[in-house]
Amino acid sequence: MIDKINSLRNEVSQVVVSSPEELETFRIKYLAKKGVLTALMEDFRSVPAEQKRELGQKLNELKNFVSERYATLKETLQATETVDVSKYDLTRTATPFPVGSRHPISIVKNDILRIFSDMGFTVAEGPEIEDDWHVFSSLNFPADHPARDMQDTFFIGRNPVDVLLRTHTSSVQTRVMEKNQPPIRIVCPGRVYRNEAISARAHCFFHQIEGLYIDRNVSFADLRQVLLKFAQQMFGAATKIRLRPSYFPFTEPSAEMDISCDICGGTGCPFCKETGWVEILGCGMVDPNVLKACGIDPEVYSGYAFGLGIERITNLKYKVKDLRMFSENDVRFLAEFESAR
């Protein structure tokens, strides 16, 4: 009997099945009421009493082994079973699931970068945690300029006071000019920080894009033309621009640029305070002092720079009234922008 048990165990361990029918055959042969195991149990009755203990144990082990083998074969068969596609409706529309949408600031940033990249500008980026030199000193800020005040700038730590959060992306100008000689033609997107109370119209962080072009014989007319093209591509071919004299430490002469009001088309409305114009950026010819500070010879090279706020452009394009919406990340607000395009 012990031989029978051993050879059965051997036999069962070698069985493989490749269809549900073969699996059923296995079950009937070994495990069913009239199967091999039941027959063995019958034989067991006539075993002499002194062998019963040992053989009973072996027999039990065999029974467990066969059941386990059956379970394994069943599992492997299910895993390798090929899917019968005729059971499924493959033309049914898939269940829709929500995919995120791009943030409006990113959408507008990408639009702006694309327009300038078509005009030959490349993208440059710099750190948000900066030092006084890159944010102020290299850009010709006088020592007592109010922007250097704690009230406007976030300083990190007291000692050294030199570490601060950049208040504008103009700092990237310096970083690029220090390492490269002209021609330089870059746009620098990024987040900037100012110590402002948060309200519908102001926030302690926002986003800017800085532009810089340095080469031989760059003139104010070049600046004006590039900005006109930008305004028309961003707000439509009928858009007009107007440059008003202004002051920035790092440009001379400096100007602020207005575009004809996108809402009333220039006839005057509450949005443009009845003037027909809205301001969108600051610009000017790079001050020779800035070129010198960055190791570029102002006798040989000249250039222009401009800086715009992405939130401002986004507000104009999409009429967002409250700046805080941009950082609250309400998905209902965010989802409106992909579909608005």
- Residue 201 has which token pair? 């119209």
Q: What is the CA radius of gyration of the chain?
A: 39
Nearest Cα to 138, choosing from 101, 178, 96? Answer: 178
If one asks whether residue 210 binds ligand DAH (CB under 6 A), the answer comes out as yes
If one asks whether residue 311 binds ligand DAH (CB under 6 A), the answer comes out as no
If one asks whether residue 284 binds ligand DAH (CB under 6 A), the answer comes out as yes
323: left (phi over 0), alpha (psi -120 to 50) or beta: alpha
Identify the residue among 30, 306, 326, 337 touching ligand DAH (CB under 6 A): 306
- Contact 304/220 with Cβ under 8 angstroms? yes
Residues 85-124 contacting ligand DAH, CB under 6 A: none
If one asks whether residue 248 binds ligand DAH (CB under 6 A), the answer comes out as yes
If one asks whether residue 182 binds ligand DAH (CB under 6 A), the answer comes out as no
If one asks whether residue 138 binds ligand DAH (CB under 6 A), the answer comes out as no
Question: Residue for token digits 């950082």?
Answer: 327
If one asks whether residue 126 binds ligand DAH (CB under 6 A), the answer comes out as no
**Please, what is the minimum distance in Å from the beta carbon of residue 251 to ligand DAH?**
4
- Contact 129/163 with Cβ under 8 angstroms? yes
Residue type, 244: R
**Please, what is the minimum distance in Å from the beta carbon of residue 321 to ligand DAH?**
22
Quick one: 186 or 272, whose CB is closer to ligand DAH?
186
- Contact 282/246 with Cβ under 8 angstroms? yes
Could you check whether the bond before residue 249 is cis, i.e. omega within 30 degrees of 0?
Answer: no
Cα distances from 18 to residues 32, 242, 299, 323, in angstroms, run 20, 81, 86, 66
Interface region with ligand DAH, contact rule CB under 6 A, candidates 20-28, 50-58, 83-91, 305-313 = 305-313
How far apart (Å, rounded) are the C-alpha atoms in residues 153 and 128?
A: 12
- Contact 278/262 with Cβ under 8 angstroms? yes
**Please, what is the minimum distance in Å from the beta carbon of residue 276 to ligand DAH?**
23
How far apart (Å, rounded) are the C-alpha atoms in residues 214 and 219?
A: 10
Identify the residue among 258, 282, 291, 320 touching ligand DAH (CB under 6 A): 282
**Please, what is the minimum distance in Å from the beta carbon of residue 190 to ligand DAH?**
11
If one asks whether residue 277 binds ligand DAH (CB under 6 A), the answer comes out as no
If one asks whether residue 258 binds ligand DAH (CB under 6 A), the answer comes out as no
**Please, what is the minimum distance in Å from the beta carbon of residue 332 to ligand DAH?**
31
Identify the residue among 104, 177, 307, 314 touching ligand DAH (CB under 6 A): 307
Interface region with ligand DAH, contact rule CB under 6 A, candidates 26-34, 229-237, 290-298, 299-307 = 299-307
How far apart (Å, rounded) are the C-alpha atoms in residues 279 and 256?
A: 7
Residue type, 299: E
Q: Which residues in this chain contact ligand DAH in the complex, by CB under 6 A?
A: 168, 170, 210, 248, 251, 282-284, 305-307
